[in-house]
Amino acid sequence: MPVDSPPGFQSPLILEALPTPALPGDQCPRRAKTQLDLLLLAIEALDLTSSEVMLEIARELGLESVIKGRVNLWLLRSTNPMRRYSQRRPMQIEEAKALVILTAHQCRRLTVLMRQLLMGYHQLQEQQLSPHHHLRLADYLNRFRSHFRSRMNPQRAGVIVYNTDEKLDQLAIALLEQMLLCSGVLGPQRLWSSLFDGEVL
């Protein structure tokens, strides 16, 4: 299904690698918007410079026509209904594709660190030790919990379920595992497909 675009808008060629799903409309579903924002939240917890790097990658890949700067990126992420200041504006499919491309590039850049953290996590599990025995992993988990609690609306049902440190740590680890799967050559395609499980008609 073709996506309606503003007059004069030309979709960057790199986005054509991701198929347009057969959705009822040209807007990104709730689940996909939420998952993309959570992945970017986890990337921020891994790398404090990730927002600036993301904008730089957008310029390098010719995605400025879709990701139009820092404010536009914030507005797109704020379409996540779990956010404290959630935006009611829809996320268009082309915008979601651009975020997927950028997220996958960030994951590829952080592959070594993610492998180290997951390896440390599983070793600690085998030894029945807390993740906080691993300094770098503990830093990631602490930052993720802080980011999540400061940016998500505590009144939302999707946020209430993460009401303990342990549940947020589990979410952070699950996102880390998902990001590692998105770090390969076919990472964008894998991530894109995962966002629409159960959504495509």
Query: Which residue ranges make up each domain of the chain?
Result: 25-180
Q: How far apart are CA 86 and CA 153, in angstroms?
A: 9
d(CA 54, CA 76): 13
Residues of the chain under the 50 pLDDT cut: 1-9, 200-201
Contact 43, 106 (CB under 8 A): yes
pLDDT for residue 1: 33
pLDDT tens-digit map of 138-179:
999 999 999 999 999 999 999 999 999 999 999 999 999 999
Q: CB within 8 A of 113, min separation 6: which ones? A: 46, 136
